[in-house]
Structure 1
Amino acid sequence: MYFYESGEKMKRDNTTTLKLLVEAIIVGIFTGLVVGLFRFGIEKTSAFWLDLFKKAHQNAVWFVAIVIGFIIVAVIAGYFVKQYPHVGGSGIPEVKLELQGKLSVKWFPILWRKLIGGILVIGTGLFLGPEGPSLQLGSSIGQGVGEGFKQTKTNSRVLLATGAASGLSAAFGAPLSGALFVLEEVFHNFSPRVWLNALAGALASNFVVSNFFGLHPSLAISYNHSFPLPLYWHLILLGLLLGILGHIYKLGLFSFKNVYKKITIIPRWLHGLIPLAILIPIAYFWPLITGPGNRLILSLSDTITTQGWITVRMLALFFILRISFSIVSYDSGLPSGIFLPILTMGALVGATYGTFMVQLGLMPAKLVVNLVIFSMAGLFAAIIRAPFTAIILITEMVGSLLHLMPLAVVAFIALLVDELLGGRPIYDSLAEAMQGKNGVAKASGHEDQLTVPVYESSQLVDEKVADISWPKDTLVKLIRRGSEEIIPNGQTTIAAGDMLVLAVDSGRRGQVYDEMRKLQEVELDG
């Protein structure tokens, strides 16, 4: 009888797993279509504005059209954010809070407003990227599919995470990075259930967009020279520099929000007018450096071949302009992201450092392009605090598996420097700031589930269930230990590597998440 019941349970579990996997692929397909449309819209809108600025060089009357157009963009995008505040920004903090049970949003109003608002805003040439919005677009689709198939709350969160991975995959053409980012930065835990579905969705979305945009890497930069070991001291210096600059960027991003708060002449929802006004002279004189930055990154291969102090000064100026205006653009609250702008700033740091060292005779010119690549991973690791994603992302975007070692060295040192300076993952900080506005969650009377990984350093290891001060109204339903599932009692001892399945009130899931994190001093799985 026992074997019969076990077999039936295994069959049901396999059916549920397969059904969820199929739904994850559906999420990936629809996300690929939507994000593909998003990317196409940004490309066409960007080309439109660049053409207008070219015409303005010939006839100043076109400035009138540009000003009117920018005002329309600011009003439309700002009004979307005024209607639904979670349309603003990248959307990644919202996804983190949703997965933790601390935020609930309506997916469709977010979806279409983010799509249209993102195309309008990012296409203007502001120093903003499409990757964060793409992630939120995907998560909205995942939420919609979960509701459509009437999934449980736990499986709905898996589909939401799958959509997030699919969105990032479609934006960068990087399925491994899309899935890895969700696990490393959003979940902070490599859950097999989430990993399987997230990767399936990411692959599906990447397949869809590849049919529209091709299979070539998004940042196909050729760098064939291995970085010699005797010159690794450059990587240490570069990592130190990137860690410091990444920390400064995060400080600036949060500090400048206070500047916007003091601007009362313009309503908060129209603050997008400020960066758009500043953009006009930048786009007129330096159109190459506008936008998310992919055009600028690809142009660096040619720029760094022109050696001289004037090149060093120009690259340094571009970096200062990019880092400052990226902060001004993002803090305005417009629908946008900072992924690609961060990579662009990193590339400029690498190019500036490399050309500077070439001028001093401390590095051959042929290796500068290597530093451009390494620096993108380093600055990403310092700011986002997701080093594995940084390494794999750059590898996928550049299209080369060479030089993983120097990539890892720069990313590790930059991350370490930010850690020593007291830095935190930028999306965690943004999510916490957002959470403070949402108030305290109340009990709903509906049961939900929270899965908690037990790490080696956890205070729960070797403790009996009855001896642990669990959060209020929390029940340990199940302990997954390898392939074994244990129904616990008070005398059950918790071991490192266990996955605790907790029954919690859906309204207090986020609060229980925080209490369990404090109890273990780790980030938790959803």
Structure 2
Amino acid sequence: MTLGGVVIGILAGVVVSIFRYSIAAILHVFENYYIQARTDYWIAAVILLFLIIVGVIVGFMLKKEPNISGSGIPQVEAQLDGEMSVKWWAVLWRKFVGGILSIGPGLFLGREGPAIQLGASVGQGVGELTHLRSPVSKRIFIASGAAGGLAAAFNAPLAGCMFVLEEIYHNFSPMVWITALASAVSSNLIALYVFGLTPVLNIPYKFSLPINYYWHLVILGIILGLFGRLYQKVLLVMPSIYEKTKIPRSFQGLVPLVLLLPVGMMFPYFLGGGNGLIINLDHLHASFWILVGIFVLRFVFSMISYGSGLPGGIFLPILNLGAIIGAIYAVFMHQIGVLPLAYESNLIIFAMAGYFACISKAPFTAIILVTEMVGSLGHLMPLVVISLVAYIVVDILNGSPIYEALKEKLTLDDKYLNRVSKFSDRIEIPVFEGSSIDGKYIRDIAFPQEVLVIAIYRGERQLIPRGDTLVKSGDRIVMVVNAGLRSKLKRKLTQLINGID
């Protein structure tokens, strides 16, 4: 499996690096054209015509293959939960072309979600071409491909691996971990060869934040949590708003693409996912209200962009919005005399992690991702504090992980679930400290009738379960289930095994 992860990582690294390079090159060209369009209306007319043609082309792609819509992360989660089956080649090439056409001209969409789906498609393709029969092996290949995709998109192999385990696979199985890590490292090596060793977000900072200023992290974390919950609510309601336009879902991308022309002419350097804006944010020396204006622009148009269903992610736009909130907070606190402006870069870095942690509810990924993207280990403690505070705020406000919430809105194929239900599949769930089944015998646990417990891993040992086998915290219980019922049973089993007694 590890060798398979390496192969998948290399292939995913090549695909995603070309994808990433193409988007950056096209965006650079369009920035210049948007500036020229301010004084040359013929250029503006040509750009508008091109954007409409892009909307139509991508619309037909979406009509043919709806699973390339959005970031693709919810679709990958549904695949791994056994709720969806996709044709890897159809998704791979359409996501690749559709993503470049949608993100390249400057829509406020990220490359990372599509990169994850591209990597997952590569993993699925390798699994099918090598004739893997085990559903478990197929899922591990898909998950490792997703890790490789994120690693190549951000030069962040550890974050890519952690994101798959924490947000997509929801399982810290050693086999998954090692294969995903092999893929992420291999993919990242390809990306480093193409883009160099400079961190993706090379944000210089002069000083580490002193401990006596840590109270700012609590206040900023609360603010991030409140705006994070707002982000979740607005993003999830956008499809229903688009429905009122009466435009067919596949062609709703025409709305943001047409609006992109005036936005690009007015703000040519604020376009795209926002990577360049993050790096230069502290160099803008912008006033409080200008920063607020930038935030409103980025927030509103990113919602319009993603809500249309065009192929593109929210990963980088979320980090961008978090960075802007951090800059706004730093400037405001400096104006009222309670924080030196020298720490603006620090708060930009911290706020990115906090905002992503609370929206995705994946704090470990957020901390590792920002650490790798910035290229410094000097921020770990502040990143942990602000991520934890923001996470708690969203949790109190009943916010769900955004990708899980988006997955719930997918139209799943019930025929597929019924068709695969006759095939066996496997679920592995760890027993946490405080679990309701900790200290119970197997015979006393009310497992669903559709479940067969086949093994218990205790450290490096594998136990064959019997009625008098005692379950302990730290164990990993392996069960066989019907493939079509996997997602439903996994939720039941997770509640049964890890519910607090």
For this structure pair, what is the TM-score category when the shorter chain's length is used for normalisation?
over 0.9
What are the equivalent positions in structure 2 for 1:183-262 lying under 5 Å apart?
Answer: 183-262=165-244
State the distance in 1 between where 2:411 and 2:496 align. Answer: 20
* Equivalent residue for 2:135, pick from 150, 153, 167: 153
State the distance in 2 between where 1:214 and 1:498 align. Answer: 42
State the distance in 2 between where 1:448 and 1:255 align. Answer: 35
* Equivalent residue for 1:486, pick from 463, 475, 481: 463
* CA deviation string 1:59-90 (max 9, x = no partner): 11111111111111111112111111110011
Q: SS at 2:38's partner residue?
A: helix
What one-letter code is carried by the residue in structure 2 that aligns with 1:489?
R
State the distance in 1 between where 2:175 and 2:432 align. Answer: 18
Unmatched 5+ stretches in structure 1: 1-19
Q: SS at 1:30's partner residue?
A: helix
8 Å contact 1:441–1:511 — kept in the other structure? no
- Partner in structure 1 of residue 147 of structure 2: 165
- Measure how far apart 1:440 and its partner are: 8.6
- Measure how far apart 1:190 and its partner are: 2.1
- Bigger shift: 329-338 or 432-441? 432-441
- Partner in structure 2 of residue 270 of structure 1: 251
Unmatched 5+ stretches in structure 2: none
* Equivalent residue for 1:383, pick from 352, 359, 362: 359
* CA deviation string 1:90-122 (max 9, x = no partner): 111111111111211111100000000000001
8 Å contact 2:148–2:188 — kept in the other structure? yes
State the distance in 1 between where 2:66 and 2:411 align. Answer: 13
TM-score norm. by structure 2 comes to 0.96
8 Å contact 1:102–1:435 — kept in the other structure? no
What are the equivalent positions in structure 2 for 1:86-485 lying under 5 Å apart?
Answer: 86-151=67-132, 152-264=134-246, 266-304=247-285, 311-434=287-410, 438=414, 441-442=417-418, 444-485=421-462
Q: SS at 1:441's partner residue?
A: helix
State the distance in 2 between where 1:438 and 1:415 align. Answer: 34
Q: SS at 2:417's partner residue?
A: coil
TM-score norm. by structure 1 comes to 0.92
The verdict on how the C-alpha distance between 1:301 and 1:380 changes in structure 2, with shifts beyond 3 A counting, is: same
8 Å contact 2:82–2:483 — kept in the other structure? yes
What one-letter code is carried by the residue in structure 1 that aligns with 2:106?
G
Q: SS at 2:409's partner residue?
A: helix
State the distance in 2 between where 1:359 and 1:468 align. Answer: 60
* CA deviation string 1:33-60 (max 9, x = no partner): 0001101110122122222212212311
The verdict on how the C-alpha distance between 1:80 and 1:472 changes in structure 2, with shifts beyond 3 A counting, is: farther
- Measure how far apart 1:271 and its partner are: 0.4
- Measure how far apart 1:204 and its partner are: 0.2
State the distance in 2 between where 1:136 and 1:27 align. Answer: 13
Compute the RMSD of aligned alpha carbons.
1.5
State the distance in 1 between where 2:483 and 2:169 align. Answer: 18
Q: SS at 1:452's partner residue?
A: strand
Identity score, percent = 45
What one-letter code is carried by the residue in structure 2 that aligns with 1:289?
F
* CA deviation string 1:176-230 (max 9, x = no partner): 1100111111133322111111111100000011111111100101013011122
* CA deviation string 1:280-338 (max 9, x = no partner): 1111011111110011111212113x6xxxx1110001001111111111110000100
- Bigger shift: 183-192 or 20-29? 183-192
What one-letter code is carried by the residue in structure 1 that aligns with 2:487?
G
State the distance in 1 between where 2:237 and 2:51 align. Answer: 26
- Partner in structure 2 of residue 516 of structure 1: 493
* CA deviation string 1:465-494 (max 9, x = no partner): 222222233211111111111111222222
- Number of equivalent positions: 497
- Measure how far apart 1:459 and its partner are: 2.4
* CA deviation string 1:434-481 (max 9, x = no partner): 266757932632222111222223322222222222223321111111
What one-letter code is carried by the residue in structure 2 that aligns with 1:89?
G
Q: SS at 1:451's partner residue?
A: strand
- Partner in structure 1 of residue 3 of structure 2: 22
8 Å contact 2:38–2:44 — kept in the other structure? no
- Measure how far apart 1:277 and its partner are: 1.8
8 Å contact 2:282–2:327 — kept in the other structure? no
State the distance in 2 between where 1:74 and 1:490 align. Answer: 60
- Bigger shift: 402-411 or 246-255? 402-411
State the distance in 2 between where 1:260 and 1:424 align. Answer: 22
What one-letter code is carried by the residue in structure 1 that aligns with 2:378?
L
* CA deviation string 1:481-516 (max 9, x = no partner): 111111112222222111111111222222221221
